[in-house]
Structure 1
Amino acid sequence: SRTRDHDDLATPIANVLHLAGEATWTEDPATVTAALKSGHRAAERILGRSIPFGDIWSPTKR
C-alpha cells in the first residue's frame, strides 16, 4: 500500500466514525506500536484534546 492509503483509512468519517489499527498508522505500519498509537490518536480525536502518550502507556507501568 501507499502512504496515502494509510492516511485515508485514518481520516474520520463525518467526525463520527474513527478507525484505528496498524493499517491506519503511516509512520510505522504493520507493528504493535502502530496499533497502539493509532488507538491513541483516535481517542484524542474523539475526546477533542491531547493526551500525552506516556500517561497511558509506558513499558515500565503495570
Structure 2
Amino acid sequence: MPNIFNVWADEGWEEPVIEERFDPDRTVLSLSFLKKVTEKVTKKTQEKYDAILNAMQPDK
C-alpha cells in the first residue's frame, strides 16, 4: 500500500481512496489518474483569468 501511495504522489495524481464496506465486508481501493490541483496552480490560473477579463472590453 505505501508503494501505491508513493507512486501516485510522485506522478502528481489524486491520492488513492480507501473505503471499508460492510455486509459483505470489503475494502475498496479507488485509484484516479487525474492530476491533483494544487493551490499554486489554482492561484496562477485565477490570476491569468482575471488579467484576461480586465483586458476585455465590455462591447466585445
Determine if the TM-score, normalized by the shorter chain, exceeds 0.5.
Answer: no
Structure having the higher strand fraction is 2
Structure having the higher helix fraction is 1
Normalization by structure 1: what TM-score? 0.29
Rg bigger for which structure?
2
Normalization by structure 2: what TM-score? 0.30
